[in-house]
């Protein structure tokens, strides 16, 4: 459910010509809140919303790294607002964004990884952990 909501909302915002990247954080935040409040498990909600944001960015010709950063921030914010576990949300969101970027290609994966490490608190630690 969160993935389809995110895809539709991002596509709708793009059709309006609005600054899509700026809207991603709010779209993901709202989708995750709604999903979790309706009983969808946190991990599933975060993964679906973040991954779909990255795929939608590619489809719409947006900067995948910028969208990934905003999607991760929106995911963590949405989880926080419904009282979820923000530490696991951060890890799940970072890995979901990175995995979705890897599906696009190596260049996208490198770009997303660098952007997340620079812009998202806790992302560097997530990547350090997967190196082990």
Q: What are the tens digits of pLDDT across the range 10-39? A: 767 666 655 778 889 999 999 999 999 999
Please tell me the pTM assigned to this model.
Answer: 0.90
Query: Considering only CA atoms, which of 104, 107, 115 is closest in space to residue 65?
Result: 115
Query: Considering only CA atoms, which of 52, 37, 38, 39 is closest in space to residue 93?
Result: 52
Q: Compute the average pLDDT of residues 73-94.
A: 97
Give Cα 10 distance to the centre of its chain.
12
Predicted confidence at residue 2, as pLDDT, reads 65
């Amino acid at each position: 459910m969160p993935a389809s909501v995110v895809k539709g909302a991002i596509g709708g915002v793009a059709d309006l010509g609005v600054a899509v990247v700026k809207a991603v954080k709010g779209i993901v935040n709202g989708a995750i809140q709604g999903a979790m409040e309706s009983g969808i498990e946190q991990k599933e909600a975060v993964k679906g919303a973040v991954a779909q944001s990255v795929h939608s960015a590619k489809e719409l010709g947006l900067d995948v790294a910028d969208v990934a950063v905003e999607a991760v921030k929106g995911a963590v914010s949405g989880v926080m607002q419904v009282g979820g576990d923000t530490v696991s949300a951060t890890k799940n969101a970072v890995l979901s964004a990175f995995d979705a970027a890897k599906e696009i290609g190596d260049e996208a994966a490198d770009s997303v990884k660098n952007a997340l490490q620079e812009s998202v608190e806790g992302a560097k630690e997530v990547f350090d952990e997967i190196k082990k």
